[in-house]
Amino acid sequence: MKHALILADIEGIAGIYDLKEMNKCSEIYTREIEVCVSTLLSNGVDAITICDVHDKGDQINPRVKQMGNNCVVRLVSLMGGIPFDCKYDYAFLIGFHGMSGTLGILPHTLRFDFKEIAVDNPYNGMITPIGEVEIYSRWLGSLGIPVMLVTGDREAVYEANCFNPYRQTCCLKSYLQTMSFNITSLHNKLAHSIINSLKLDKNLCLSSDEGIVIADFHNPDIVDILLDRGYNKRGSKIQFNNCAELVSGLYPLVEILQQLNQETWTTNIAFLKELRDLAIPLKRQSLEQSEIGALLKKNLLFLDSASKVKIMDNIQKIIELHANHN
């Protein structure tokens, strides 16, 4: 019996370029997953577990579970819902996107809080940025599950090939593409890639999970707060022993980040109100041209305590200059 695990994300799905109409996106997402399931079942796979890793894990229509006929097709939400009561022969990463800072379509790494996640290679000492493709591939590798195929936008495919040029990849869209394609044509390409991936040597698709993983955040305050919560610090960043440790503790970490974001939002709203009250006698132009202007352009959730100290010091100086001038 051959059992396949599909990790599915929505941003790299063919035909999706924004998430403004989620009902429409959910249907497009589901149809691409159906292509994957149908192709796998037609090519010797007996059981499939689909894990929707996007947001709350509820965007794939449950109708995919009825595709199995005499085979088992399971649909679960998020990685914590993946049952490991069985052996997965291989995994497929479907619909993935580029990491934060790339020219991907809707690029990010895990959550908007993360500025970058990188791995410290124990063999050559290089610190290399990685995205969800490599994070999940290494995590699955630590469980003995080879990733046979990665599909999605150009940047996701590039990342997959950077770390393992042997595994099959399938690019279904690009930030730089100059023409549109019929979805059926792209689905045919996807099916062909799945069939090719099943012919690969599984052992060569198995990722190694070696090297310290370092997480950098847009708001530096998060690092000190996580340090107090028992996380390990490396310089101005948080470190994990490997991708398996990061992924296994991801949802508890997300809960902490969500709580911190709520607190940061409330605190920074109050700070801005105080700032506006102080700046009433000042001209807007004088503020925008000062160091304050650049700092206040940050996302409100990324406005850290050091930046707020700088802002307050600067505005006091501007107020003093304004008072002396008058």
pTM of the model: 0.92
- Pairing state between β 147-153 and 90-96: parallel
pLDDT value of residue 293? 65
Give the per-residue pLDDT at 70.
78
- Give the per-residue pLDDT at 287: 58
Q: Which of 139-148, 178-187, 202-211 comes out lowest in average pLDDT?
A: 178-187
Question: Which tokens belong to 11?
Answer: 């941003």
Cα atoms found within 13 Å of the Cα of residue 127, Cβ hemisphere only: 11
Phi, psi for 189 (deg, rounded to 5): -65, -45
Q: pLDDT at residue 205 above 80?
A: yes
Q: How confident is the model at residue 278 (pLDDT cuts 50, 70, 90)?
A: confident
86: which 2 tokens? Answer: 């069985």
* Cα angle: 80, vertex 117, 271; to 5 degrees: 95
Q: Which two tokens stand for residue 81?
A: 């819902």
Q: Give the span between the Cα atoms of 326 and 314, in whole angstroms.
A: 18
Residue 284 binned pLDDT confidence (cut-offs 50, 70, 90): low
Q: Of 125, 210, 207, 213, which Cα lies nearest the Cα of 162?
A: 207
User: Could you tell me the two tokens for 108?
Assistant: 């990010």
Residue 105 tokens, joined: 């379509």
Classify residue 235 as left (phi > 0), alpha (psi -120 to 50) or beta. Answer: left
Query: Which pLDDT score is estimated for 289?
Result: 59
The stretch 69-83 carries a mean pLDDT of 91
Complete domains list, the chain, with CATH: 3-108+131-205 (3.40.50.10780), 251-326 (no CATH)
Residue 171 one-letter amino acid = C
Q: What is the mean pLDDT of the chain?
A: 91
C-alpha 118, offset from chain centre: 13
Neighbours of 206 (CB within 10 A): 20
Query: Counting Cβ atoms within 10 Å, is residue 273 exposed (0-12), middle (13-18) or buried (19+)?
Result: exposed
Q: Report residue 6 as tokens.
A: 């599909």
Question: Has residue 283 got a pLDDT over 90?
Answer: no
Confidence class of residue 86 from pLDDT cuts 50, 70 and 90?
A: confident
Average pLDDT over residues 113-142: 94
Looking at residue 166, its amino acid is Y
d(CA 152, CA 313) in angstroms, rounded, equals 47
CA distance 92 to 78: 15
